[in-house]
Structure 1
């Protein structure tokens, strides 16, 4: 998703600012997915539709009782076009990358070029990054509060693995870190820079390593949109038949609520992602019907317990692994 955000900026002709403490920004840009042409996208859409139609016909022979239900198209390749689509099996051509202007921030190089920077009582790495973003916004004509003579454009900022130990932060090492407020101070100042500039920012955070829940709540409150990805690799859900068609879940923690007292609530709360050979897709999670007579009672209880976790409404009514009574 981080590379999708940057690739969309390249295709739209936006300026990029890529910051990382581990992987060099040059290598990140070299691995951006290649954009799909309209002809290629239509071919993928027809192929996906044909596979879905064949599976649907086969399933109707078994689950005939569901043949009158409306079909739901969860695959984005069959939906109206919004933005651009990309082939993750190929990388973006260097010629396309040269058409846009981009800036980089690689922390190991910055540490060797400048002395120690201490800004707003936050650690040196965050202070350097803020100064670099501020300089690009003011010098390259992205300051919305100051009339610019240059042609207006949008700056897309991508910050990778913020809050990790490589940034000099210790929130991933202990439940009671010494410098507990550096990350939230950085996000607070960055939020002010973004509000008065023609820029948008995506930040990835290793939330699974942060044990202090109060830190993640503050990070959520300081963000407009928060999306969490939960992979099935290494968990018991990897072998659960309920999730055999997916590779992980997508949790929408927060969505923007600009100029509104409350945020909009989407009808689709159960989302899952699937990594295909050429596409990364986010689909609505559909559970297969349990029509087999050979499934043991223990397996059915396990499936019922897993299905209970998907719906908060039914989950509050269920106790243990017992079936629901209506």
Structure 2
């Protein structure tokens, strides 16, 4: 810090120094400006990228997944240079929503998209993205959807147990406008003007495989062609940083749909002892190397419930940075269980990366469920339903108690005994 000079002869006392500083309206704590030589490169701030923010834990650059509640569970968002693996639900009804949220957030934030699929045309996927909700009508839209989704019993205001009141609330609806993360209306499609103004690249495997001429290797032809396509986009458009972009820096969002399915030429879903079982692992290993050295983030959906060899699932999880599993209640006994009557499935946070840190930012709540409303896909904490009626049969109470044992310590600890939990 620069010291304040005192007037007069001799050495001034601290009191005279403060008096002189206050008299001349000068403080000893002054903001350091650029060097006199004019070289201010050491003091210039880093150029910010639209749709990103640094992590408060490790300083890693984050992008939004398109679902603010999911960003909160992942420690603020998806880190740039990492892979997010989504384990598809059994009937593949809810995992495409997270995939579309990620792509829609990229269009709204002005990021470059790379959509790869072996089943659907990437242009058709973009046409089905949800429409963003403007800040002016945001609160009104969510209030209307929440009111229509509630049953007459849930509209009645009641006092809940104190242990649930102390739990932090999930961010399920917007409270103010924010530049990081947006909200979307699933009942509407994204405007065509936003798609035309965005920059995106599509990889449709049936169109690429016909013109493919590669040498025999351990990777399937579809994986080789996709890696070459991603590498060319990263290098040609300067996302790797080796050739600095002349324009403002941007983020590349990569979305790969149903990776590992038979449509990609992989047979890990068909037999337990497949010939090219290491092909998928090598693809993920090379993909992570490309992401680590570039301004890009990737989301992959994979039908892990179809993979016969469970050891392959463990290896795929180890080669991914973040792993999220979706478990749908459709076709299971939980669909008719009264404990899960307000939800459509469970969401499992299986793995969170440790970036620039020895520990990962793990959420305190393990019991998470999701439900699909008319306009919103929401993630909530799984709570036990209140039992306020004296006419509930003993068999239903026993079913609730048995179901509560399946939950983690957040909901099932107090219901672990034979006695049913009453509020």
> With structure 2 as the length reference, what TM-score do the two structures score?
0.69
Residues 308, 315 of structure 1: 8 Å contact kept: yes
**Cα distance, 1:39–1:180 mapped onto 2, change above 3 Å:** same
Q: How many residues align?
A: 320
Q: 1:120-145 deviations in whole A, cap 9, x for unaligned? A: x2111101100000011001111124
CA contact (8 A) 1:130 1:190 kept: yes
> Given the alignment, which residue of 192, 200, 214 partners 1:94?
192
**Structure 1 55/78 Cα, relative in aligned 2: closer, same or farther at 3 Å?**
farther
Deviates more, 1:161-170 or 1:220-229: 220-229
CA distance in 2, matches of 1:221, 1:34: 34
- Contact 2:128 2:190 (C-alpha < 8 Å) held by counterparts: yes
Encode CA deviations 1:141-171: one digit per residue, 9 max, x unaligned. 1112443334321110000000000001111
Take 2:144 and 2:117, find their aligned partners in 1: how far apart are those partners?
38
Instruction: Provide structure 2 residue ranges, at least 5 long, that are not aligned to the other structure.
Output: 1-97
Kept in 1, the 8 Å contact 2:382–2:411? The answer is no
> 210, 213, 225: which is aligned to 1:115?
213
Q: Against the structure 1 CA distance between its residues 69 and 269, is the aligned structure 2 distance closer, same or farther, given a 3 Å change threshold?
A: closer
CA contact (8 A) 1:187 1:222 kept: yes
8 Å contact from structure 1 (residues 17, 102) kept in 2: yes
| 2:145/2:373 contact within 8 Å kept | no
2:201 is matched with 103
CA-CA distance at 1:204 after TM superposition: 0.2
Q: Residue 178 in 1 paired to residue 278 in 2? A: no
When residues 279 and 118 of structure 1 are mapped into structure 2, their CA distance, relative to the original with a 3 A threshold, is farther
In proportion to residue count, which structure has more helix?
1
- Once the two structures are TM-superposed, the CA of residue 189 in structure 1 deviates from its matched residue by 0.3
Instruction: Report matched runs for 1:301-320 at 5 Å.
Output: 301-311=398-408
Name 1:252's counterpart in structure 2. 349
8 Å CA contact retained: 1:49, 1:78: no
Q: Which whole-Å CA distance do the structure 1 matches of 2:236 and 2:199 have between them?
A: 13
2:173 maps to: 77
Matching residue of 1:24? 121
Matches within 5 A, 1:1-326: 1-47=98-144, 58=156, 60=158, 66=161, 70=165, 73-74=169-170, 76-79=172-175, 81=178, 83-116=181-214, 118-119=216-217, 121-311=218-408, 323=418
Query: Is 217-226 or 152-161 further displaced after alignment?
Result: 217-226
Cα deviation for residue 220 of structure 1 reads 1.1
Distance 2:413 2:384 in 1: 19
**Any conservation in 1 of the 2:174–2:183 contact (CA below 8 Å)?**
no
Deviation for aligned residue 1:234? 0.9
The change in CA–CA distance for 1:149 and 1:67 in structure 2 (over 3 A counts) is closer
State the SS of the aligned residue for 1:137: helix
- Once residues 230 and 23 of structure 1 are traced to their aligned partners in structure 2, the CA distance between those partners, rounded to angstroms, is 23
Taking structure 1 as the reference length, the TM-score comes to 0.88
Judged with a 3 Å threshold, the aligned counterparts in structure 2 of structure 1 residues 70 and 316 are, in CA distance, closer, same or farther, namely: closer
Gaps of 5+ in 1: none
Bigger relative contact order, structure 1 or 2 (CA pairs below 8 A, ≥6 apart):
2
Instruction: Work out the CA distance in 2 between the residues paired with 1:110 and 1:78.
Output: 41
Alpha-carbon separation, structure 1, partners of 2:222 and 2:118? 9
Instruction: Name the stretch that deviates more: 216-225 or 123-132.
Output: 216-225
Would the alpha carbon gap of residues 78 and 324 (structure 1) be closer, same or farther in structure 2, given more than 3 Å must change? farther
CA contact (8 A) 1:145 1:196 kept: no
Of residues 210-219 and 7-16 in structure 1, the stretch that sits farther from structure 2 once superposed is 210-219
Q: CA RMSD in A?
A: 2.9
Deviation at 1:312, TM superposition (A): 5.7
| CA deviation after TM superposition for structure 1 residue 313, in Å | 8.2
**TM-superposed deviation, 1:260:** 1.5
Deviation, structure 1 residue 75? 5.6
Q: Does the residue aligned with 2:316 lie in a helix, a strand or coil?
A: helix
CA shift for structure 1 position 117 = 5.0
